[in-house]
Amino acid sequence: MKFSISEENYIKGIYHLQQHNEIVNTNLLAAELNSKAASVTDMLKKLNEKKIVQYQPYRGFKLNEKGSRIALGIVRRHRLWEYFLSEKLEMEWDKVHAIAEELEHVSSDELIGRLDNYLGNPKFDPHGDPIPDSKGNLPLMNKVRLSDAPLKKTATVCSVSDQTTAMLEMLKHYKIGINTKLKVIRQFDFDGSVEIKTGQNNTCTISKEVAKNIFVHYE
Amino acid sequence: MKFSISEENYIKGIYHLQQHNEIVNTNLLAAELNSKAASVTDMLKKLNEKKIVQYQPYRGFKLNEKGSRIALGIVRRHRLWEYFLSEKLEMEWDKVHAIAEELEHVSSDELIGRLDNYLGNPKFDPHGDPIPDSKGNLPLMNKVRLSDAPLKKTATVCSVSDQTTAMLEMLKHYKIGINTKLKVIRQFDFDGSVEIKTGQNNTCTISKEVAKNIFVHYE
DNA sequence: AAATATTTTTAGGTTTGTCTAAATTTTATT
DNA sequence: AATAAAATTTAGACAAACCTAAAAATATTT
């Protein structure tokens, strides 16, 4: 089944909101998509008829099995293109998202399969987000917020949840990027900020606010 | 100025028809785009208001300066993506076009500039069609139909005007592709078919019908 | 040059996706 | 439990892009 660009955007929007909320509601999705509640209701009736969501009027909605599969396909295309733009075309981190947002709607299975292969079947996109495989399986990873990370264990930065330009600027300043190795030296009780060590003689302190947005994993 | 996918398709359609007809008319464009005459009239009024075409009701139309510039931008995107799909993703010749038709509407100048660069600034797409540069300049090439080619001079295949699957099949059979070197041995008066030599001991005869669609150039 | 055929445009309708404003339902407050 | 507030849906409109069928303009025949 083929979906319009609008339908795909709604499906993707629901998918993303479901990462944080079991059930999604109308206003939330309207905000996510920069549209209005009435438009969301209209589209949800349509997605409901197409049997992609579980929708109870006034009660919210969520993707069903079929809907999730479709969402993962869109996410896969988006993240593979992000990887391409970043790794092959060397585009800046913060410009990659908007363009992938357009490319993701080109939905040839052969294209995506070959792209995946060409890129070397990457498991994570440049933001550290996992790329679903062609069957919709997400690679697993036990990641932890830097604000909750154990002390004195060498960790690897694997993703950053806030992907605004402001955050990018911040990270550039601290010389932190995906795959940067670092170690938490201590945590200050006063405001929860953490002192970290990246490389041999590079120690710095970052606020809890920032640390909450940086995810790391251990090997 | 930003154009919708539909508008871009109409602009591109007019551009292609103008390669063979100075003035394009409603029915011709409707056929090219698989739409109806009434739809073409609607869109042409719109393109006329946007000052992209010269349009005289009942008299046909053509792209003006501005319209041509826009068309060349679309053609550039299309052919760069075709090159990418063919050279990097190793897709079959006949599948490349349909996908490039979708990718071409993603219109970030930075994306296309970087893609061009990444591909090594190619001058011709996999079908041998010229790729406009970022300023809209087309590379020049003095090409000749194989049916009109001089005898016994080594030529290089540079483009094929009929890009159907049927033609691709034909060319595979004859082992002819873009950049194949060949020499016309003789031409038969009876039906205009030509005997050609590709490689050392590979001689074959192809019909005028096919030869008319193969373009070669000499160095 | 009149009649016929072809082409193009206009008129009016459909679908998709959006919106505002009013009505309805659910949730929270007193 | 009644009322106020918030969220959601419905009703009705609008724009883009398409269509069919009828009308108008142009081209071709006789």
Q: Tell me how long chain A is.
A: 219
Contacts of A103 in chain B (CB under 8 A): 103, 106
The phi-psi region of residue B181 (left if phi > 0; otherwise alpha if psi is between -120 and 50; otherwise beta) is beta
Q: Residue A153 has what pLDDT?
A: 81
pTM for this structure? Answer: 0.81
Q: Residue B61's CB: how many other CB atoms inside 10 A?
A: 23
Give the C-alpha separation, B123 to A30, whole Å. Answer: 45
Which residue in chain B has the smallest CA separation from A108? B99
Interatomic distance B6 CA / D17 C1' (Å): 8
Show the tokens assigned to A59: 């009660």
CA distance B19 to chain A (A): 28
Least Cα distance to B137 among B73, B80, B183 occurs for: B73
What's chain B's Rg over C-alpha atoms?
A: 19
Task: Determine the Cα–Cα distance for residues A105 and A3; give it in Å rounded to an integer.
Answer: 9
From first to last of its 219 residues, what are the pLDDT tens digits of chain A? 899 999 999 999 999 999 989 999 999 999 999 999 999 999 999 999 999 999 999 999 999 999 999 999 999 999 999 999 999 999 998 899 999 999 999 999 999 999 999 999 999 888 888 999 999 999 887 788 999 888 888 888 888 888 888 898 898 889 898 888 898 999 998 999 999 998 778 899 999 999 999 999 887
From B134, B118, B69, B195, select the one nearest A88 (Cα to Cα). B118
Chain B positions touching chain A (beta carbons under 8 Å): 85, 88-91, 95, 98-99, 102-103, 105-106, 108, 110-111, 114-115, 118
> B103 and A99 in contact by Cβ < 8 A?
no
B110/A95 CB distance under 8 A: yes
Task: Give the bases of strand D that a protein CB approaches within 7 Å.
Answer: 7-12, 16-21, 25-26
Question: pLDDT digits over B14-70, tens only?
Answer: 999 999 899 999 999 999 999 999 999 999 999 999 999 999 999 999 999 999 999
Q: Which residue is nearest to nucleotide D8 (CA to C1')?
A: A58
Statement: the CB of A6 is under 7 Å from strand C: yes
- For residue A115, the chain B residue with the least C-alpha distance is B89
Read off the pLDDT of residues A17-52 as tens digits, 9 standing for 90 and up.
999 899 999 999 999 999 999 999 999 999 999 999
